[in-house]
Every structure is written in C-alpha cells, then in structure tokens.
C-alpha cells in the first residue's frame, strides 16, 4: 500500500464511501511505521467529527458450529431493513505457522455482503491477541466515521480472544446451542462472566431423530439462566437468556431488543465511562505491541537469537536464563 492521501481518505469516509472505508481499515491494520503514523492522524481527524450518538458496538461469540455467520447475516439484514447502516468486522483465524487465513466470511453472508447499507470486513488475527485488539478497535472507529451506526464484531471462537473483544465493545453477545445431557458442557465459566446477553441459537425445526429443537432450546435457556444466577450473583444487570433461530429469523429481533436494553441500562454516562476505560486499556495494549516490535528489531537480540535457540533446545540453558540474556541484550542496545 502506497502513502495514503489522508484528505481524500477522510472526505471519502465521511461521505460513506465503502472503498475508502476499506482502504482506511487496510491502513490501520498495517504494521509499517509510516502507515501507523498516517493511521494515527487519520483517526484523530475522524474523531474531530465523531457522530453525536456513538454507534452500537456488539461483540458476538459462540461455541463451534453455533451458526455465528448465519445469525449475523440475519441480524444484519434485519437491521438494514430498519434503516440502520451495519458494519461487520469478522476476526478470521490465521495460521500461526504461515500467517495465512481463510477470510471467507463474505461467502457465508451472501445477502449482507451485497447490501448497500452493510460493510463486511474479514480481518486476519495473525495469531496474536494484540493484533486483534489494535486492528479491530481502530477499524470500529473508521466505520463509525463512515456513518455505520451498528458495528458487529464476530470473534474467532471460544477462548481468550473473546475476553479481548469483550473489552472493546458495548455489549457482548454469546451464542450457544441446546445440547443433550449437560447443557453447560463446553461453556467456560469465564465466557458466562463477561456475557451481557445469551442466545440459544438453532431453535427451529426438528433435529435428528425427530427431536424438537425449539423445545430443547427453551430447556437449555432455562438451565443457562439458572447458571447465570450462580455465576453472576445478585447485581444490577441480569444477562437475559433467550432463544432464536438465525436460519429462520425467529427471535432475532428479540435478541436485538435485549442488546438495546443493555445499552439503555448503561446509560449515556455509563457508556462513555466504559469506552473511556477501554481506551485506557487499549493504550497499554499498544504499548505492549510496540515494545514487542522493538524487541524483535533489536540488533543485540538478533545477534544472539540463534545461539540462544540452540542452547535452549539442547537443554544447556533454561528458559528463564535465556529470557534474562535477551532482555540484557535489548537493554544494552544504543538509544537515540
């Protein structure tokens, strides 16, 4: 990507041009030093003209096979039909070996991908949570600047990335499935602790063996509601547990109303305070990311990297001792 024309980018984004929004997100995802500087200026200029009402930011996660993409497409088309402009940031898992990723979310959302009032951006996670936090947080700001009043962030899967995404959105929606036996099997307590709304998906037609999945989903919802009371305890906001079907659209509007109810519960002051805290947390994320980059570029570290790797692999040097030598080499590098 060549040096960006920031004036053209800002004007295009504020005019709602999807191509300019895409170029801006590519810019904020770049790890080049000059691109990072340009991205900072771009975001600062967009912030000067931020919309008076912040966009609704929703993180969406779920167990494998829960149907996140189908649900998001149904929800997204439901919202655009109501006059909303919807941006979707789908964090795509990258190979930790090659860095490659599938980036197939547009193929899983065929209707939403051609909707003129929607924007879908699959972004590789590059195997790092810091990459998710930096790129996704800034991409949300770009979409808000482009006039998208709803931003949905689909996460990689159940794991630490959910904690990261929950720390950058207003409401965290957790999708799950009705299961035979223990309905809570496979759901981590940590996910229940951060969920603001829970929806049991695929509450539609009969499943295998003639099982009524709608009845099964309602039973799972009751069990999850009980689990939430044990996990959360008495508090001001009790995360609702509802049923829906992303395939048929049944209950999707109810899920959205619960998301809005959580936003109303936060109130304007609460929302601003939450976002301010998120920006502070994001600050330290960026600091850690920059320190990691500087460590990797350090000449002193590069000079002993191969030797240390051989010593650790052979057992001649322990990991703590190797870490101490790396840090000592970094600290000894000349500074401007």
Q: State how far the Cα of 112 lies from the Cα of 317, in Å rounded to an integer.
A: 54
Q: State how far the Cα of 178 lies from the Cα of 183, in Å rounded to an integer.
A: 6
How large is the average pLDDT for residues 302-307?
A: 92
- pLDDT at position 4, please? 76
| CA-CA-CA-CA torsion sign (27, 29, 33, 36) | positive
Whole-number percent of the chain with pLDDT over 70? 81
Q: Are 108 and 69 in contact (CB under 8 A)?
A: yes
Number of H helices, E strands in the chain: 13, 7
Q: Which residues contact 1 (CB under 8 A, 6 or more apart)?
A: 23, 26, 27, 30, 35
Q: State how far the Cα of 285 lies from the Cα of 131, in Å rounded to an integer.
A: 9
DSSP bridge partners of 152: 58, 88
Residues 103-143: pLDDT tens digits?
445 567 888 989 999 999 876 555 455 456 678 888 999 99
CATH number for 51-265: choose from 3.30.750.200, 3.40.50.880, 3.40.50.300, 3.40.30.10: 3.40.50.300
CATH 1.20.5.170 assigned to domain 1-49? The reply is: yes
Domain boundaries, the chain: 1-49, 51-265, 298-331
Residues 154-209: pLDDT tens digits?
886 656 667 788 888 999 999 988 864 444 555 666 777 788 999 999 887 655 44
C-alpha distance from residue 152 to each of 31, 204, 240 (Å): 24, 24, 19
pTM given for the model:
0.85
Q: Which two tokens stand for residue 125?
A: 């996670």
């Amino acid at each position: 990507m060549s040096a960006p024309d920031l004036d053209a980018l800002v004007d295009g984004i504020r005019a709602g041009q999807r191509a300019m929004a895409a170029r801006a997100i590519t810019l904020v995802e770049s790890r080049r030093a000059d691109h990072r500087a340009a991205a900072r200026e771009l975001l600062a200029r967009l912030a000067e003209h931020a919309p008076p009402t912040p966009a609704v930011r929703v993180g969406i996660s779920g167990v494998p096979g829960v149907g996140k993409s189908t649900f998001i497409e149904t929800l997204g088309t439901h919202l655009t039909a109501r006059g909303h402009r919807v941006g979707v940031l789908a964090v795509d898992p990258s190979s930790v070996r090659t860095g490659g990723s599938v980036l197939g979310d547009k193929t899983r959302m065929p209707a939403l991908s051609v909707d003129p009032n929607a924007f879908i951006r699959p972004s590789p996670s590059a195997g790092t949570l810091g990459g998710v936090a930096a790129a996704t947080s800034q991409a949300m700001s770009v979409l808000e600047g482009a006039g998208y009043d709803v931003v949905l962030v689909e996460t990689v899967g159940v794991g630490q990335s959910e904690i990261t995404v929950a720390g950058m959105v207003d409401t965290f929606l957790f999708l799950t499935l009705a299961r035979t036996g223990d309905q809570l099997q496979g759901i981590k307590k940590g996910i229940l602790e951060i969920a603001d709304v829970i929806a049991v998906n695929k509450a539609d037609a009969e499943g295998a063996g003639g099982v009524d999945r709608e009845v099964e989903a309602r039973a799972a919802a009751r069990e999850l509601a009980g689990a939430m009371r044990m996990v959360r305890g008495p508090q001001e906001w009790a995360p609702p547990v509802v049923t829906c079907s992303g395939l048929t659209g049944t209950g999707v509007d109810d899920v959205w109303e619960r998301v809005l109810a959580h936003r109303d519960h936060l109130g304007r002051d609460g929302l601003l305070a939450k976002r301010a805290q998120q920006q502070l947390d994001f600050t330290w994320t960026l600091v850690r990311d920059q320190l990691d980059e500087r460590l990797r570029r350090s000449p002193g570290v590069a000079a002993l990297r191969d030797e240390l790797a051989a010593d650790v692999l052979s057992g001649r040097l322990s990991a703590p001792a190797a870490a101490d030598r790396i840090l000592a080499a970094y600290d000894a590098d000349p500074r401007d």
